Amino acid sequence: MTVRSAFSLPLVSSVEGNLELARHGERLGYDDVWLADTATIDVFVLSALVASATSTVRIGTAVVPVFTRPPALLAAAAASVSQVAGPDRFILGLGASSPAIVEDWCGVPFERPVTRVRETVEALRMMFAEPKVTYSGTTTRVKNFRLGVAPAGEVPLWIGAQRPIMAGVAGEFADGVACNFIPASAVPAFKQTVAVGADRAAKSAPLPLVVRLQTIVTDDRAAALDTLRAVMGPYLATPTYNSFLASCGYEAEAANIKAGWDDRDRAAVAAGVTDELICDLAIVGDEVECREKVAQFTESGVDVPMIHPVARSQGEAAAMLEALSPR
């Protein structure tokens, strides 16, 4: 499978700043731009604007929570972005997200996430293919839905996965897989779990894997490690990432991070994110070191290494994208 170069948005708080970075990345030769859905610029608004501001990069979401938008809204939004982007330029990446985002931020019960993801994908496939849809699942129900906007072409559906059960569901029901905070050493086993799911659906080709890589290109390694420690700690304290971390062989680190989080001790959380752990999960160092680390991920089986610059400014983010641009 051909490796695709990619970067992540949003990286700054302004819409125009992110569009400038999208155009910058396209000029540098990146193949993809993947957008996160968090408490910042709306993911579908930014996707459509990026599609309009660029002409060659493929655009994907990694990922949109299935709990915060029902399938009808997801279908309409994805089809609309597809029209702006044109054929073969938009991927809808979906995932369960986390209780913090789904329950605490949005007030929606975080229940049966694996089933909810699978049923959302099933309902969406029907919505994109059939004129009128009724779907009755355990967590998802749709009655007499008609999609009033046609996508420009097929909208591939990818699933965000960390733990084995979701990876298997992704293999069986999705067109691709997104993952975060996975060490290169764990990628082959992860892809094998995805392949088991794909075998259940009799898929003939392996599914592509995109991995978001927290990145700092710098000569000040110590400062970068401390920055990444603070960024990664809260993520790695969440139940899904914490258990995944332990399953990848970092039991002590996962336990220390969780204990610090449970005690509401952010310093202890950060201390649990060791230098070794950061270097295994992220891209940090000078340009040569960072390129070598990206190569380790692609050699392990990552098809789309997604650079996510952890930057203090738009200019710093742009410089990191340039440092690791395709050559």
Q: What is the pLDDT of residues 208-218, one digit of tens each?
A: 999 999 999 99
**What are the helix and strand counts (H, E) for the chain?**
14, 12
Residue 30 has pLDDT above 80, yes or no: yes
**Residue 327 above 80 pLDDT?**
no
- Whether the per-residue pLDDT at 8 is higher than 80: the answer is yes
Locate 119 and state its tokens.
Answer: 């049923």
Q: What is the pLDDT of residue 188?
A: 98
User: pTM above the 0.95 mark?
Assistant: yes
Question: DSSP 3-state assignment of 69?
Answer: coil
The pLDDT > 70 percentage for the chain reads 100
Residue pLDDT, tens place only, 220-275? 999 999 999 999 999 999 999 999 999 999 999 999 999 999 999 999 999 999 99
pLDDT for res 93: 99
The CA distance from 318 to 252, in Å, is: 36
> So what's the pLDDT on residue 190?
98
Question: For residue 15, what pLDDT is reported?
Answer: 98
Over residues 179-202, the mean pLDDT reads 98
pLDDT at position 33, please?
99
In angstroms, rounded to a whole number, what is the distance separating the alpha carbons of residues 237 and 27?
Answer: 37
Average pLDDT, the chain: 98
Q: Summarize pLDDT for 121-180 with one digit per residue, the tens.
A: 999 999 999 999 999 999 999 999 999 999 999 999 999 999 999 999 999 999 999 999
| Residue 99: predicted pLDDT | 93
Question: What one-letter code names the amino acid at 192?
Answer: Q
Q: Which neighbouring-strand residues pair with 213? A: 307
State how far the Cα of 55 lies from the Cα of 85, in Å rounded to an integer.
Answer: 8
Q: What is the DSSP letter of 28?
A: T
pLDDT in tens, 94-109: 999 999 999 999 999 9
**CA atoms of 122 and 125, how far apart (whole Å):** 5
At residue 1, the pLDDT reads 82
Domains for the chain: give ranges and CATH numbers: 6-214+286-323 (3.20.20.30), 219-285 (no CATH)
Mean pLDDT of 286-312: 99
Q: How many CA atoms lie within 13 A of 35 on its CB side?
A: 31
pLDDT score, position 270: 95
Q: pLDDT tens digit string along 47-82?
A: 999 999 999 999 999 999 999 999 999 999 999 999
- The distance in angstroms from the start CA to the end CA of the chain is 19
